[in-house]
Amino acid sequence: MREVRYREALREAMAEEMRRDPTVCLMGEEVGYYQGAYKVTQGLLEEFGDQRVIDTPIAEAGFSGIAVGAAMTGLRPIVEFMTWNFSLVAFDQIVNNAAKMHQMSGGQLSVPVVFRGPNASARQVGSQHSHAVEPFYTNVPGLYVVYPSTPRDAKGLLKTAIRSNNPVVFLEGETLYNSKGEVPDEEELIPFGEARVAREGTDCTVVTWGRPYVSVMKVVEELAAEGVSCEVIDPRTLRPLDHGTIVESVKKTHRCVVVHEHWPYGGPGAEIVDRVQREAFDYLDAPVLRATNLDVPMPYALHLESEVVVTEARVRDTIRKACYLD
């Protein structure tokens, strides 16, 4: 095992797959000569050349459509959105073309394309650049939706995504790029639909992904010192969702808290609550609770932004409430 940053793990995954398969190519705004807005693609242009690492115009709908067409005709494109907020311009290409082409062609066409880039809020980027888009895309049959929380999962899941014959929405935590973690020296492909038990516990199951994962791991360690044992489940893929691992954990702990960065109305957070109450109702000793962003557009002012995002204090209070400690 060796320690790498989240962005480096993503870069390694792309480079290894591009070396392995000449049909894998990369396109997006500033992925080449600028080395990527977050330096995830640094060095790829030098190694693979401008026929496989392609700087595009600022036209998300255009280059997403080109990628879908290229995937239908034999290539395996990776599309980088400078931020997933900009994918809303390409929503039609992702939802109406990439996700549906296999079904509409009666299985004759596949669309092996990966759409990837930073998701959710950063710091003071305003309401139009702070969307957590997983509720939008998890609602669409035909798409895989992946959201790694650690460098190891980022690398292993991205390699799996690139080899998939189906379109993948690959969400990366915008504030996770500099985080460090261990990755194995040998090749590892992490399958879709298998959650990871990040921490074992007995008193409360906490389900989380993306940036809030870091806050949750810190909070549950603090609560452990108070005698509260939390089991942390990271779904890793939100579509397909490994509800079985979550339900089995809840059957053991009898309580469940879901922590996520998107708005509280709908989305995978609400889906997890629904699955738990349907499949583990008789095991619950308390209502399933959620800690989320507030249900408002993201403010620009830092002191207001810090109140809107899901905070460690909100996570702690929610877990304590689920355990009837407050």
Nearest in space to 275 (alpha carbons), one of 95, 119, 120, 138: 138
What confidence category does residue 326 fall into, taking pLDDT thresholds of 50, 70 and 90? Answer: confident
Residues 173 and 201 in one domain: no
- 307 is written with which tokens? 């109140």
At position 73, the amino acid (one-letter code) is: T
- Identify the domain containing residue 156 by its residue range: 2-183
Residues 170 and 224 in one domain: no
Distance of CA 117 to the CA centre of its chain: 10
pTM of the model: 0.96
Catalytic residue among 8, 17, 29, 60: 60
Catalytic residue among 102, 129, 243, 262: 129
pLDDT at 123 over 90: no
Residues 317 and 227 in one domain: yes
Task: Give the Cα separation of 152 and 164 in Å (integer).
Answer: 19
- For residue 33, count CB atoms less than 10 angstroms from its CB and return exposed for 0-12, middle for 13-18, buried for 19 or more: exposed
129 is a catalytic site residue: yes
Nearest in space to 159 (alpha carbons), one of 19, 56, 315, 44: 19
Residues 178 and 205 in one domain: no
Residues 277 and 160 in one domain: no
- For residue 313, count CB atoms less than 10 angstroms from its CB and return exposed for 0-12, middle for 13-18, buried for 19 or more: exposed
pLDDT at 126: 87
Nearest in space to 111 (alpha carbons), one of 140, 139, 70: 70
pLDDT at 153 over 90: yes
Residues 219 and 177 in one domain: no
pLDDT in tens, 249-298: 999 999 999 999 999 999 999 999 999 999 999 999 999 999 999 999 99
Residues 138 and 37 in one domain: yes
310 within some domain? yes
Prior bond of 191 cis (ω within 30°): no
CATH of the domain at 276: 3.40.50.920
What confidence category does residue 14 fall into, taking pLDDT thresholds of 50, 70 and 90? Answer: very high
pLDDT at 100: 98
pLDDT in tens, 42-98: 999 999 999 999 999 999 999 999 999 999 999 999 999 999 999 999 999 999 999
pLDDT at 124: 87
Q: How many domains does the chain have?
A: 2
